[in-house]
Structure 1
Amino acid sequence: MAQTGLQRTIMDPVVPYVGTIFGGLEPGQMIVIHGTVHPDADRFQIDFQRGNSVQPRSDVAFHFNPRFKGSGHIVCNTLENEKWGWEEKTYQMPFTKGQPFEIIFLVFHDKFQVSSNGKNLLVYKHRISLQRVDTLGISGKVKINTIGFLAQPTLLGSQPTSLAGNSIEANKGGSEKPRNFTIPYTGCLPSPLIPGKTMVIKGEVLKNAKRFAIDLKPHGSKDIALHLNPRMKERVFVRNTYLRESWGEEEKQLLDFPFCTEMYFEILIYCDLQQFRVAVNGVHLLEYKHRFKDLNKINEVSVNGDIQLHDVRIW
């Protein structure tokens, strides 16, 4: 992810660390933490909380707690009025004892979205108001090198030529409020997706999503130059081309599936002479060799499936 709009950086804080988040948290902010897990770690935790009271203990809006027992897992929870809520667990464990890490917390109006070492990790829905969060706490067997607070209203910044005009409306506090497109969506491109052109599709995966698809094609034709089809249940990201009323061979190979339910995403598609290059949330994911050769006819995009679509842009 591009780390622009730096507001504040804390260098080499002593752990346990408790520090004020000046100005609180707002949708669009990113908190980027670099550190190293101790070689003998059993757990560590990062808490977004209200104040730093010990007795009674401060409310914790988001408790992020990697635990290394067995194969390891991450526990997320909320503490309110000194009572823990229900635990949400993920068994994806990107942290290794004795190894460095990067964690990015992306703040939305309704959730935190967490990635680590360039891979999406989890989504945690707010249980108490984001406006109550004014303190960051870190404890456990971990060394922290830097904590960075960044103003980052979108992952890729403002891009020209939205296919729906002004598809982002400003709301109070300077954050951005997405305006949803109707799904299924079809839009005509202002210029063909020829080599050198880039498209970005921004949206959110629905809670019970099964799959969604993005198709780049010539207007008025059944042919599909590029079919991108993430399938949530199978955790596969299918790529294909439809020519002369027939699908080609599916491409599925990926090291990691980049999507999860309720996550915000930005899919960037760059066209070069030989292939499409695809990135998700700022991380390069795959290449797809051109099977449809007449690139100057690719002038339409369609999006369907189990997502909210926020924006489609080309430049």
Structure 2
Amino acid sequence: MAFNQQQPFYNPKIPFTGSIQGGLQNGKSIILSGRVLPRADRFHVNLQCGSHSASDIALHFNPRYEGGSVYVVHNTCQKGRWGSEERKYESPFALGHPFTLQILVTQDTYKISTNGRHFMDYRHRISYTQVDTISVGGMVELNSVVFQNPPFLPPQPGFPAFPQQPGFPALPPQPGFPAFPPQPGFPAQHAIPPVCGFPPSPVGYTIPYKTIINGGLYPGKNILIQGIINPNAKRTGIALHYNPRFDENVVVRNSHKMEKWDTEERFGGMPFQRGQPFQVTITCNPHHYNVFVNGQQAHTFNHRYTNLHEIDILEVCGDAQLTLVQV
């Protein structure tokens, strides 16, 4: 198992150049979250073979807002010469609005997703194994640059049942919704309808949302969760027991062991707002979790359950809509 997960860059100044520790591998993802400036004409994200200005650029992702025409240029620069442009005439990111850009490395292409939706594939013109640097420039702000290594896939134990959390009613069986076929070692899961009054979350992130953390947690592991708090939200919860409560204006942190809830931690601010987008990054450290909200460190929670590799389920529930979950 790879324990050398690279720590994110938070709130880097633009122009930004950062090293990709260990370079790129098949299955590795880079997730950038930020905001396009209101009067932007263009910005770019480059995956480079070196950190100096004359380095080859394997992927040039370049949204442009010029002369009433909005499009994205993709290209490669080798030995100081640009190749043929690939243009897509649509805007994945609105001026003045926050965004998430995910670049997933595969054997043949970069799979580029914008705000949780697939945008395009860009075939490799330079081997991704030569890439060791990311750079960002132009009229953009960055909240974070997060790296996720290819998943480690050990045999998974049976799916444990989650205990009832304070403040969340038990979810009754949902009649009329088909069951998904069971996975090896897991009982059948049932489809859950969208929260009443709100449309289904994009790209299949239906609340309550549950997923496997392949290989469990370990120091250096990052979990990224992005979405929108519902306007009339009362409470929303993230398994690992990080529980924003809007009706109490507090974020409760806790753990559950031996069928009992432990002592709550309630100190610290409330970094979430009703009706507003959010980004949560949970970073696992040797002795504690760091929780970053919208690029700012919000809370720290010491490990109470120290067998980190056994923590292999992430669950998100409550009054929110999800646009991206990266584990």
Give 1 or 2: higher strand fraction: 1
Larger relative contact order, structure 1 or 2 (CA cutoff 8 Å, min sep 6):
1
